[in-house]
Structure 1
């Protein structure tokens, strides 16, 4: 909202939902929002006595600072979250590869036994892993079968060492897939929260910029940099650029 030639011009007075703020935030770079926030903080604090008369009070200024702090923390946390996800994915892949190697070795040891032992043959067939997610169960079944049939294969197979090696892999496989899924979800949740904050901060700055320009027109504060306008978002390379602010009269 602004005024021209004695007429109050309404831009868009609408109620914003959380989804609206998130959608708005996706249009803007978080880094550039932060730069705009730094400039806004300085001029808002400087002109607060006048801006309060236009609704931009100390309470709203304090809220703006709180949102800025939360915004900064999320921006710092995002790379850390992505690194944690990549590390867990690497570990999952390593554990899966090791699990398949151990399962294959166990099957090789038990196959000659199964040729002569119908019980071993049927249980070995049931123990075979159906896929990566089934490896933990399969390793448990194969370990039990190796221990039970210990007297039916030669000691040179070193089956006890194989069983011992399977235990920690089986234990880790029971949790690693869930940890990876959880880690993959965190950046998505963090990004949505960051988008919402981008949108909220952007809308607050739109309101303060409008109030500042009105105060300038009323002669209550001088026109000086950064001129109550967006100076960084205008240069955004996003698909949907920010609307051009009207020039200061």
Structure 2
């Protein structure tokens, strides 16, 4: 049994449970399922389906596809049955209402059809063509952004003389701390990452790249265990302002 029936003599069952509270024939679960579907608004179709799917997955954890195929087959059979009725026959107006509900539920099933059960080869090709076109558009957009970025990429990196990385890092700290006569810093950032990323990207130490983590450790908080302290003996220069009123807060 795939569908969740209401309990016998249960007069306060969940609104999505199916079947009669006294007399039940579980062989007719398809009929009960569709009869309850007729009573629901279209915006409840997803919740109704998921309610019975959850019930089925409790005992069949890998059975999502099987459940879908069962419900899908039931819908196709019932739509086929009603579609074969004579449009001139008495009571056909009620059949139109039922077909409308079934068609709406059929459309919902198409949106969750992970297995392309009701998808024609032509439709699959159209979907793939649409996906390819979308991906081509994304590639073009990314290429345009990459081209803009590459405008600012240098053809080579600036080399720091071997063994003098602390000297250079000390100079960067001094530049970072320069203060103008009006009290404003010459250079401002919200954090340290622009500094160490700029250095790791644009400079080499001797002939070797500067690891991002190494550059970061020079600019991390002095209280950090990874912070690289620059000793006085490793410093090489002091940036001295031309105008006395310009300061260096380094």
TM beyond 0.5: no
Q: Is the radius of gyration larger for structure 1 or structure 2?
A: 2
TM-score normalised by L of structure 2: 0.29
TM-score (norm 1): 0.29
Higher helix share: 1
